[in-house]
């Protein structure tokens, strides 16, 4: 979207107070400490004060904007100043000729710059400066340095990373193809989690192709944490369960923590079914629940038990 269009929309959202010179925001507002909000582009809503800074001052914004008039909803750029913490922060930045802003202050174990704001909040410097420049960073989205220098905090060198880039941050990709690539991020039931789903499913769709409805991504290596797509094959739920049993990974009978029946009870149900008993008769006469009989009769539980 051209800046002229953005400027036109912005100018429709405030009224000038002739007594104070304030530009009072009449558009959408946030919480009691937020002030006005403005949609810079579709889906990218930023502070109205930040938008005013970008439109009228046309210089990078470094630090938090404070209005000298004290009016929360004022968006007049002549009433703006930045906090003193801005000076403290920039004392720790070495601006180099190649455009990189090298952070020379405290860092975290990954090498990312850390800084304590006046209110005591610890922030990642490159993230903070990027947000102060007007870029909205969705929750869970990573950033990367276009210059390749992890010590650089120049917001013009910090860009939002795509899903594939973020995926590889949790994988040791230097390992050979025949070895497992164990997921180093969040785990659930032993499987890696990424983008709200299984990391192994993301890897399959990204590097192999679509997963048909109802199909499972199975591991030839039998390692749930592995996201090496060379170790994947597709299978139905039945294939997946059979693969578990074949490899001895399925917890059987009384050893299954979720088992409600003993092996003898399961054998009795299977024997009665084999002899021709109806499920309803087993339930009524033997005292088993509908679910216990149904799960055995359909092979969902105790399928390995022979009678």
List, for residues 17-56, the tens digit of each pLDDT value: 998 999 999 999 876 566 889 988 877 788 899 899 888 8
Select from 120, 138, 161 the last residue of a domain. Answer: 161
Which pLDDT does position 33 carry in this prediction?
60
Residue 18 resides in a domain: yes
Which pLDDT does position 205 carry in this prediction?
93
Residue 225 resides in a domain: yes
pLDDT confidence bin for 257, thresholds 50/70/90:
very low
As a whole number, mean pLDDT of residues 254-260 equals 48
Asked if pLDDT for residue 250 goes beyond 80, the answer is: no
pLDDT confidence bin for 195, thresholds 50/70/90:
confident
Instruction: State whether 58 and 75 are in the same domain.
Output: yes
Separation between Cα atoms, residue 244 and residue 252, nearest integer Å: 11
Select from 109, 126, 161 the last residue of a domain. Answer: 161
Task: Supply 119's token pair.
Answer: 């209110």
pLDDT confidence bin for 84, thresholds 50/70/90:
confident
Instruction: State whether 118 and 64 are in the same domain.
Output: no
Identify whether the C-beta of residue 231 lies closer than 8 Å to the C-beta of residue 221: yes
Residue 302 resides in a domain: no
Question: What is the count of structural domains for the chain?
Answer: 4
Residue 181 resides in a domain: yes
Instruction: State whether 76 and 8 are in the same domain.
Output: yes
Instruction: State whether 97 and 77 are in the same domain.
Output: no
Separation between Cα atoms, residue 80 and residue 53, nearest integer Å: 8
**Residue that wins the pLDDT comparison between 189 and 193:** 193
C-alpha distances out from residue 54 to 20, 23, 41, Å: 22, 16, 13
Select from 161, 186, 207 the last residue of a domain. Answer: 161
- The residue range of the domain holding 270 is 259-297
Instruction: State whether 178 and 202 are in the same domain.
Output: yes
Residue 305 resides in a domain: no
**Residue that wins the pLDDT comparison between 245 and 268:** 268
% of the chain with per-residue pLDDT over 70:
87
Judged by average pLDDT, the poorest of 30-39, 247-256, 283-292 is 247-256
pLDDT confidence bin for 240, thresholds 50/70/90:
low
Instruction: State whether 220 and 270 are in the same domain.
Output: no
Residue 254 resides in a domain: no
Which pLDDT does position 119 carry in this prediction?
63
Separation between Cα atoms, residue 173 and residue 214, nearest integer Å: 29
Residue 233 resides in a domain: yes
113 - beta bridge partners?
Answer: 107
- Per the prediction, the chain carries an average pLDDT of 83
pLDDT confidence bin for 80, thresholds 50/70/90:
confident
Instruction: State whether 148 and 119 are in the same domain.
Output: yes
């Amino acid at each position: 979207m051209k800046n002229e269009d953005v400027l036109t929309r912005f100018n429709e959202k405030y009224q000038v107070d002739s007594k104070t010179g304030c530009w009072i925001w009449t558009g959408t507002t946030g919480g009691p400490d937020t002030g006005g909000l403005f949609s810079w582009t579709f889906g990218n809503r930023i502070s109205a004060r930040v938008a005013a800074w970008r439109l009228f001052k046309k210089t990078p914004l470094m630090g938090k904007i404070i209005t000298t008039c004290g009016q929360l909803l004022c968006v007049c750029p002549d009433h703006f100043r930045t906090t003193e913490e801005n000076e403290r922060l920039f004392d720790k930045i070495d601006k180099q000729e190649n455009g990189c802003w090298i952070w020379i202050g405290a860092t975290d174990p990954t090498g990312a710059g850390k800084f304590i704001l006046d209110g005591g909040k610890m922030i990642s410097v490159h993230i903070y400066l990027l947000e102060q420049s007007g870029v909205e960073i969705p929750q869970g989205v990573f950033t990367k340095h276009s210059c390749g220098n992890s010590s650089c905090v120049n917001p013009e060198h910090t860009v939002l990373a795509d899903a594939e880039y973020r995926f590889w941050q949790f994988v040791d990709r230097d390992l050979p193809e025949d070895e497992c690539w164990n997921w180093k991020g969040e785990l659930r039931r032993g499987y890696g989690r990424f983008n709200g789903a299984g990391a192994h499913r993301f890897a399959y769709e990204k590097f192999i192709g679509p997963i048909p409805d109802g199909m499972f991504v199975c591991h030839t290596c039998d390692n749930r944490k592995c996201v090496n797509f060379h170790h994947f094959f597709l299978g139905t739920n039945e294939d997946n369960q059979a693969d578990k049993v074949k490899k001895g990974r399925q917890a059987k009978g009384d050893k299954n923590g979720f088992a409600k029946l003993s092996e003898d009870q399961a054998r009795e149900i299977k024997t009665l079914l084999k002899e021709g008993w109806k499920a309803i008769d087993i339930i009524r006469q033997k005292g088993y629940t509908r679910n216990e009989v149904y799960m055995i009769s359909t092979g969902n539980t105790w399928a390995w038990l022979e009678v």
